[in-house]
């Protein structure tokens, strides 16, 4: 298959997506994994510090948004789905703020647990003149007792059994352990629903998963190969194709969707030729959270009856909308349709 869409022009594409959007509304998607709080501090720079050769940022405003699995859930909610999160929060003001932000968007937080001794992961980005100056991460590894882990796994399995799709949001912060993955996968398999993985930990076993969405760096990491650098055409990029096929076998996934930034996406499946989906971004201001949008919209589209090519195309357009915004962002159905309407094949 070549890089061109097989859906015809923008009118046919829009009609197809309208039908999928109608089917997506109200779908129940469970997000299992790491929950984080993104803090954005905006300001201006007018001088260099006399204490060190660094800019002095005069703060003008501050915003908070869900990060990690929370941002995946926000993206689902923005597209009309009924999202729920299963993860760990700290017993702190940041954890309370994150839970409130999620609930404000209609995200179910009943399985957002607050175990004793846990702290909320917070990523603080300082931005001046639309440029990120520095990011400061606060991470406290979660720790569950045996009883807490058992109860959490039961809750995940029960929620997954009632869902239309499951997303495993792995950001390497410790919430997505193998017992949790096993509980989610077992229930999802019994229910016959799609499961997506946004991967970080290569040790997790996810046999039979519907789709994994690594970026290029993660695909090479999982494959155990060094990345020689991107070529102009992903379909002619032999190292990329080899890494993707190895990653596909590693996860025993039905599909692999490798996100490639300005080069779009590469879809790989067993015994099928790879498919390249070119980027749909018009302007790029901030790529933060674009991967969250991809996994959210892709799994939601699959739950609504789309095939992998349709799901990848829809997710690609949604990510193109998100990278045109500053900070952690989402894409609405109206924005998605507007982006597709402006597409000229």
d(CA 55, CA 299): 42
Active-site annotation holder among 15, 233, 292, 307: 292
Contacts of 86 (CB under 8 A, 6+ apart): 30, 31, 32, 33, 111, 112, 152, 155, 156, 159, 180
318, 297 contact by CB (below 8 A): yes
Q: Among residues 158, 24, 34, 150, which one has the least CA distance to residue 87?
A: 34
Alpha-carbon distance values, 87 to 35, 75, 98, 180, 298 (Å)? 6, 17, 12, 10, 21
Q: Among residues 71, 120, 14, 106, which one has the least CA distance to residue 286?
A: 71
The answer to whether residue 233 is catalytic is no
Three-class SS of residue 98?
Answer: helix
- Residues known to be catalytic: 292
């Amino acid at each position: 298959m070549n890089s061109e869409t097989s859906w015809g022009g923008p009118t046919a594409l829009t009609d197809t997506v309208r039908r999928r959007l109608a089917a997506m509304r109200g779908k129940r998607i469970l997000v299992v994994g790491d929950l984080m709080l993104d803090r954005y501090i905006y300001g201006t720079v007018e001088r260099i510090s006399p204490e060190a050769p660094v800019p002095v940022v005069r703060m003008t405003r501050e915003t908070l948004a869900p990060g990690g699995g929370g941002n995946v859930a926000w993206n689902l909610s923005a597209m009309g789905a009924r999202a729920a999160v299963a993860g760990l929060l700290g017993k702190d003001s940041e954890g309370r703020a994150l839970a409130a932000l999620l609930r404000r968007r209609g995200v179910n937080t009943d399985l957002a647990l607050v175990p004793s001794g846990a702290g909320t992961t917070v990523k603080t980005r300082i931005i001046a003149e639309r440029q990120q100056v520095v990011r400061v991460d606060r991470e406290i590894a979660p720790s569950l007792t045996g009883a807490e882990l058992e109860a959490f796994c039961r809750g995940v399995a029960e929620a997954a059994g009632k869902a239309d799709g499951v997303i495993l949001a792995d950001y390497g912060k410790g919430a997505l352990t193998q017992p949790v993955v096993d509980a989610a996968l077992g229930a999802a398999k019994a229910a016959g629903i799609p499961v997506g993985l946004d991967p970080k930990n290569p040790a997790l076993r996810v046999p039979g998963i519907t789709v994994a969405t690594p970026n290029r760096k993660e695909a090479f990491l999982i494959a155990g190969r060094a990345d020689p650098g991107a070529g102009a055409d992903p379909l002619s990029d032999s190292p990329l194709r080899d890494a993707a096929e190895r990653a596909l076998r590693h996860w025993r996934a039905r599909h692999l969707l490798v996100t490639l930034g300005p080069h779009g996406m590469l879809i790989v499946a067993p015994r099928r030729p790879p498919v390249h989906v070119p980027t749909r971004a018009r302007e790029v201001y901030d790529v933060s959270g674009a991967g969250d949008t991809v996994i959210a919209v892709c799994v939601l589209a699959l739950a609504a009856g789309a095939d992998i090519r349709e799901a990848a195309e829809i997710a690609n357009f949604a990510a193109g909308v998100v990278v045109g915004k500053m900070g952690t962002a989402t894409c609405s159905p109206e924005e998605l349709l507007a982006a597709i309407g402006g597409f000229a094949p």
